[in-house]
Amino acid sequence: MNTQPSIPGTGQQTTVTLTAQERSTLALLLAAAVVIGVLVARGYTRSATWTKPTPVAASVALVLRPTESPMGKRYVLVEFGDYECSACRAVQQDLPGLLRPYHGLITLEFRNLPLSDIHPHAETAAILAESARLKGRFWSVHDFLYATPMCWNTLEYVRIHFRLSGHEYARASHYLRVDEECAAKLRVDATPTFFLVGPDGRVVRLASAYALSRVMSADKW
């Protein structure tokens, strides 16, 4: 490849000849720059060396509800989520694939953190989902809410179809308040936020759900 830059102060052109090896090296550098630019644009960059996460100073009681305790060698992945959060909706599609390698080893639990200031339907959706939990149908409602555009008609459909009533709402509202209080103590102010609880009770706050495989493969996390 030949280039002809001007010589400062003369307006003359000079020819620079690159060898085949230099042209190949330049092509590789240009290709690498393009790839890095794409990764930065997509937010996929990370440091060259990955540091093992440090367990957070959090009580398991803050992360898990009393009925959600690790058993034997099982782990619990806890998500604090909002049913009207677009990022939460997106990650739900990937969670089955992220958890598939750990079938029988990791269980998924969901806790509510409706960001009501920006999501007007989130709190009602959370109460309906918790009401369904009392009837043993939580995951059906959870999956439906994330798979369906959020609006008042969606909430009404859930209430009628799953036969939810005021009898469950009071208890559901209590569980919602507990989730919000625990989130505040854990300094969770955004959704989705994930914690991994180990069989020994240690708690790790994940950078995202996509960090799960790295945390699980790390020695003595």
Residue 87 shares a structural domain with residue 17: no
Q: What is the pTM of this model?
A: 0.71
Domain residue limits at 212: 60-217
pLDDT of residue 63: 81
pLDDT tens by residue, 171-217:
999 999 999 999 999 999 999 999 998 888 888 999 999 999 999 98
Residue 52 lies in a domain: no
| Position 45 confidence tier, pLDDT thresholds 50, 70, 90 | very low
Residue 140 shares a structural domain with residue 33: no
CATH assignment of the domain containing 127? 3.40.30.10
pLDDT tens by residue, 108-160:
999 999 999 999 999 999 999 999 999 999 999 999 999 999 999 999 999 99
- Between helix 138-147 and helix 86-99 the angle, nearest 10°, is 120
Residue 133 shares a structural domain with residue 210: yes
Helix (H, G, I), strand (E, B) or coil at 45: coil
Domain count, the chain: 2
Residue 170 shares a structural domain with residue 122: yes
Asked if 185 and 179 touch (Cβ cutoff 8 Å), the reply is no
Asked if 214 and 98 touch (Cβ cutoff 8 Å), the reply is no
Q: Is 201 left (phi over 0), alpha (psi -120 to 50) or beta?
A: left
pLDDT of residue 112: 97
Torsions phi, psi for 53 (to 5 deg): -65, 145
pLDDT of residue 55: 57
pLDDT tens by residue, 72-81:
668 999 999 9
| CA pair distance 90, 191, nearest whole angstrom | 11
Residue 7 shares a structural domain with residue 107: no
Residue 104 lies in a domain: yes
Residue 28 shares a structural domain with residue 86: no
> Is pLDDT of 5 > 80?
no
Residue 53 lies in a domain: no
Pick 44 or 153 by higher pLDDT: 153
Backbone CA torsion sign across 148, 89, 119, 178: positive
Residue 121 shares a structural domain with residue 70: yes
- Could you tell me which of 190, 208, 182 has the C-alpha nearest to residue 115? 190
Backbone CA torsion sign across 94, 95, 99, 104: negative
Portion of the chain with pLDDT greater than 90, in percent: 57
Pick 149 or 62 by higher pLDDT: 149
